[in-house]
Every structure is written in C-alpha cells, then in structure tokens.
Chain A
Amino acid sequence: MARLARMMTATRGHGRMDWTDWASYLYLILGTALMLGPVLWLALSSLKSPAGLIEFPPTLLPQEQVRVSVPNYPNPLPLYRITKGDHAGQTLAEVRKIGLQATMVDPAAPETPIRVPVEDRTKLMQFHAAWDNYGDLLQKFDFGRYLWNSVFITSVATILTLLLNSMAAFALSKYKFAGREPVFLLMLATLMIPPTIILVPNYLIAAVLGLTDNPWGVIWPAVATPTGVFLLRQYMLTLPDDLLEAARMDNASEWRIYWRIVLPLSKPALAVLAIFSVMWRWNEFLWPMVVLGRNETFTLPLALNSFQGELTTQWNYLLAMTVVTLIPVTVIFALLQRHITQGIASAGVK
C-alpha cells in the first residue's frame, strides 16, 4: 500500500512538482480516462434498466424513477416533484398522462386527483442497479451454453496452441536439421497472408472434414500460429545448449528434455502466448461466425451479435453480456501480466 502511494505521488525532483511532473501526470490521467472511461461507462450502463438506458440526458450512474404503492391503484405509481404552479415543491404520483396534462395524486391523500402540466414537473430519480440484467441473462437466454462454448474453445485451443507451438519452436531452435531455415521462413511467410483471403479455402477444408457446426472447427485451424512459434523460438534460442546436453548426459529422453527442461524454462514466453491465445480465441468473431451455424454452438461474440436484432436491440442484456465477456480476458491478463514484460523483452520481440 505504501509502495503504491509512493508510486502514485512520485515526482521527478525532490518532492516538488516540476513542470515535467505536471505534464506526465496530465498525460497519464488523460490516457487512463481515455482507456478506462469507456469500460467504466459500459460497466455502469450494464446496470441500467431499459428505461434508464434511453433516458435523455444520459446519466452516469444507473438510476430509476421512484415508485410508490398508492391505495386503490393496483401498480406502484411513478413519483414526480412539482416545480411550478399551486403544488410547487410537492411530490406527487402520476396516475395517467393525457397529452400535455397529467393526472396525479398525493400519495398521502390518494382520493383527490390533481391535474398538472407535464412541463411543471421533474422525475424523482434514485440510484438503482438493475442486477436483473445479469440474472436474466442466465435464465432467459442460453447464456450458460454460449459461455461454455467460449470457455471450451478458448481453453482447449490455448492448451493445444501452447503445446504444438512450443514443440515446433523447440525443434526449430534446438535441433539442427536440413531445411530448418526454409521451414522457419515459410512459417513466417504465412504471417503475410491476411486471414480473410484464406477464409473460403479454410471453410471448404473444414466442411470436407465435417468440422462445421462443431467447436473443433474453430479450435483446429487456429492452433498452429506462426506468431506463437516465432515468439517461443526466439525465447528458446536464449536457453543455453549446455542445459540440454546436461540433460542428455542425465539420461533424459528428448521428450523429457522438452517437458522437464525446455517447457518450464520457457514459462515467460508461454505466458505471453497464453495471453495472446486467450484474447484471440475469446474475441474471435469472423471465423466462428463462418463455421458455427447453429445457435447452440455459438460463442459469446456470436451470441452478442445475435442480440442485435433487425428491429429491436435489447441493450441492457447486450451490455451485461459484454461485461461478462470482458471479465475472463481481464482476469487472465491480470494473472499473467507480470510475465509479459519479461517474456516479450527476452523473446527479442520489441
């Protein structure tokens, strides 16, 4: 805590604020606001009711009009504060509104209806978080299934990516064989092909293999990433050959060398690739949309997309779902981020 406080109040000079301090703090605060602002806005908005969302002017905090139960009226009535006229200052409940005139009652004396022009009153608002947005997601929609689809695809694809890419990287960095450089260059060359170009051929292959409408159709084509192989290879090049030779002298099989020596020592690079892979798979949209046709196989981004109907969009659910979609990536990032700088720095990717 003390360290955090010291970091947050650090200055360039000796306790005094230099102009560079002002500039850096301004810049950093601006950057934070720019990046964090929309996310906060999203999180707060996801707690608004549908009425709260279309409120104008928009409010930062989720709010809702106060309602009270009034005898003789079956439903709770919305409350207004009267700003002008005979009843100025009073808080009245609206019974009905016809044109520019509203019929209202005093909750304390509900027998006498009062007529108030609509421009003479303001809504009485209170803070209200619509947690139902989240609750309903789980009940009304098949959110659990989409979440499971996304989690399954992301985790399985990430594990396979780490495994296969690290094996390729191990071979490309630690074994000398004819054609090693061409293979590596070919692999890197695929980076230059935009995914949209191979979308159709990929789909044809997936269709022939019967992988459409199947989570494996999303998993398999993505597990071998040139970026991942490159990242890991560059990192593994820094592992001393002596270690592998020592292990060889220690009777370790090549698989054991890979599994017990190379993999544990490549942890920083693996963490970086894990973060990348999780983000890629979790947010992937185009390819799953092409491959997954049936609603039950949808991942979260596809489900989010299907929430945007042609005529109506249920914004409250859409926002809640977006927040839920953001959480896993954030958590993974928070857990692995300390490896990133180390991993990226030592993988020679600047």
Chain B
Amino acid sequence: MSRIDGSLALKDVVKRFGSTEVIHGVSFDVADGEFVVFVGPSGCGKSTLLRMICGLESVTEGEVRIGGERVNDLAAARRGLALVFQSYALYPHMTVYQNMAFGLENLAMPKAEIQARVGEAARMLRLEDYLQRKPTALSGGQRQRVAIGRAIVREPRIFLFDEPLSNLDAELRVGMRTELADLHRRLGTTMIYVTHDQVEAMTMADKIVVLRAGRVEQVGPPLELYNRPCNRFVAGFIGSPQMNFLEGHVAGDAVEIPGLGVVRTLAALPAAGTPVSIGIRPEHIRAGHEDGNNLTGTVAGVEQLGGLSYVRLADPAVTIQIPGQTQLAAGTAAPIHFPADAIHVFDADGLTLPRLS
C-alpha cells in the first residue's frame, strides 16, 4: 500500500505565550511509520508541542515539517493529521456514526465512501453495534474507540494522541495500550503519543522523546533510555520505581558516599574531590554482600506484591527490588551489593559521565 510520507521534523521550535517562553528550541525527527511517545512531567510542554504539530497553536520560531514540507502556516485541517483528545471531544449531540462521518462530510466526500470508511473503522474497533448511539450512552473505553475511529476514517498522515488513556481505569488502560499497539502495526501510520506515564511510553514506543520544562532531554528507543540515560532527570523519570540516587564525591578511582563507604564504578571519573552522584535502579541492587561495593542499610519498610517485593532502606535511603517474597522486617539490618556495571554516575550538573571503554 502506498502512503503519503508521514515523517515529521521539528527544527529549533520555540513557543512563546506573550513574553513567557514555554518551548525552548526543540528539534527532533520522526521517521515515517514510527510510534513516538512524548513523555515528561505535567507542564513540561509536551501537549503544547503536540498542538503546535497539529496546528492548533502557532509556532513562534523554528520550523515544523511534515512529509518534508514546511507546515508552519498551514491550517490545522490541511496538515492531514488526526488528533485524539484527552477528553475525546466527541460531539455529544451526534451519534457515533455522525461523529466519525463529520470530518468526511466536511470534505464533501460521496456518501457511499463515507459509509464504507466508517463501516470499516467500526469493524476494526468493534463499534458496529453502537453506530446509532450517542456518546453519552457509551462506556469510557467505547468513547475512546470512537475518538480513535474518528481519526482513522480520515486516513491521516500522522495520528496524534494527547494522553488518550488517562481517563480510563487501570484495567482498560492496559487493554487499550495493546489495542493501540496493534492498530499501529496494522495501519503502519506514524503515531505520536503524549503521556506523562512512563510505563505507557516504555511499552508502546519505538522512540521516546523525554521533555522537561520545554526542552528535549533525550530522544531514543525505550531500552536505550533505560540503559543509558543521558542525564539524571531521564534516569529518574524512566523506570519504576524510580532510580535511587546517592550524593558523594570522587575519591581516586571510586566514588565515596560520605558515611556509607566507597563505590567502584565503570565511569570515567573526574579529578578527586569533584562532587558527583551515583544512581542505581532498585531492580539492579542485590541483597547480600558480594565482592566490593557492599553497603548495609536498615529496613524502613517492605511492600510485598507477591511476585516481587520492594524494600525501602534507611542509610542509605534506597529502594531495592527483590524477586519473590521476602522475610525482611522493618528495623533489621540489610546487607546490599551495588554491581559496578549497573551504576550510573552523574556530575554536579546532572549529566551522565561516560563509561570507560
């Protein structure tokens, strides 16, 4: 199937509301057919960025290119994109069919083709039995599917999703996540997905764009972000529970954590005495002492999830993930080991120090 080029490129994109700059020169590329997730804490500008791509917000500076063509001054409707809103934004006075057909009617498409397209989208999304219902008579998941159907029928170059799952309950969210991933596989269209939930980002994305305060922190495939975060923010944002951070300074070829001990790492360390911090994910910390990099903490609390357990320690204040169930009780001493290859070292500015090759 030949499709129009659904690639996207942002070049030094800036957005100002009055004198407040909210997006500070964002650049990245999205290849045709990629599933890209914008992720970041609330207020990081990810929704604004999405709205600038789809044309609902103007671009103050820089360039947005879709399929190689500059679209800065093109009206939203003419960019060939479809947006699924967080609130779904279904027209409450129209039936499901009318909701999906509205965009096509506006293009003065023949009735027969509208019917065919809506019918196909309804089949794909299992909405055939609900076509004559109003949105208020649908469940959250069904409304979500109508909103997606409204986007599908227009056969857009790029699908944009603005936190589409945040109004669904946890169980439905997991279901919709797989459905969206399936949909992407079937349609092969570029999809851009905004979320603040890093689990959604990790599970669905081909590529993640991590944003903070209007800046791109890192762009890359999910596992690259997990394994090689380029700074402390990304390291803390990706992964759940959060990475543990400990402050220290360089002492020779190791990092000294005051009051706790010395930790050897694989990073290329700067001069002795430079303040650095180390980060290690809860799932990489091992219980029990091994060769070197051993610390001992006190158990402050235990969360048993059945399949795995989280143990919160005091001194050092870290969380460790233990497979299976644990007998550790609060107040007992817990020996732990930091494997050197799992430790990330950050400089005072939060940037990751490169590893010794």
Which residues of A approach B to under 8 Å, CB–CB?
A: 240, 242-243, 245-253, 256, 260-261, 264-265
Contacts and interface: CB of A to CB of B under 8 A. Distances in A.
Contact of A242 (B82, B87, B103): B87
B83 interface: yes
Contacts of B54: 249
A248 B106 contact: no
Contacts of B87: 240, 242
Interface stretch (B89-97, B195-203, B276-284): B89-97
Contacts of A253: 106
B76 A249 contact: yes
B91 A261 contact: yes
Contacts of A264: 93
Nearest to A248: B76
B81 A251 contact: no
Q: Chain B contact residues (Cβ within 8 angstroms of A): what range?
A: 20 to 34
Given A250-B77, A250-B150, A264-B93, A245 B106 contact: no
A250 B92 contact: no
Nearest to A264: B93
Interface string B97-113: 00000110011000000
Nearest to A265: B93
B226 interface: no
B85 interface: yes
A243 B82 CA distance: 14
B83 A251 contact: no
A254 to B, nearest CB: 11
B138 interface: no
B89 A265 contact: no
B119 to A, nearest CB: 18
A133 to B, nearest CB: 46
A124 B233 CA distance: 102
Contacts of A240: 87, 89
A251 B106 CA distance: 6
B56 interface: yes
B189 to A, nearest CB: 16
B157 to A, nearest CB: 13
A245 B85 contact: yes
A247 B56 CA distance: 11
Question: Mostly helix, strand, loop or mixed at chain A's interface?
Answer: helix
A162 to B, nearest CB: 17
Given A250-B150, A251-B107, A260 B83 contact: no
Nearest to B93: A264
Interface in B55-90: 56, 76-77, 81-83, 85-87, 89-90
20 contacts: A242-B89, A245-B76, A245-B83, A245-B85, A245-B89, A246-B89, A248-B56, A248-B76, A249-B54, A249-B77, A249-B81, A249-B83, A249-B103, A250-B103, A250-B150, A252-B77, A252-B102, A256-B106, A260-B102, A261-B91
A195 to B, nearest CB: 36
Contacts of A256: 106
A260 B91 CA distance: 10
A263 to B, nearest CB: 10
Contacts of B91: 243, 246-247, 261
B77 A248 contact: yes
Most buried by B among A240, A250, A253, A260: A250
B150 A245 contact: no
A214 to B, nearest CB: 38
Most buried by B among A242, A249, A253: A249
Contact of A251 (B86, B89, B103): B103
Nearest to A246: B89
Interface in B122-155: 150, 154
A251 B151 CA distance: 12
Contacts of B76: 245, 248-249
A237 B81 CA distance: 27
Nearest to A244: B89
Contacts of B107: 251
B93 A243 contact: no
Interface string B23-53: 0000000000000000000000000000000
Contacts of B83: 245-246, 249
In order of increasing CB-CB distance, the 4 nearest A-B pairs are: A250-B103, A242-B89, A246-B89, A251-B106
A248 to B, nearest CB: 5
A260 to B, nearest CB: 7
Contacts of A249: 54, 56, 76-77, 81-83, 103
Contacts of B81: 249
A26 to B, nearest CB: 41
Contacts of A251: 77, 103, 106-107
A46 to B, nearest CB: 43
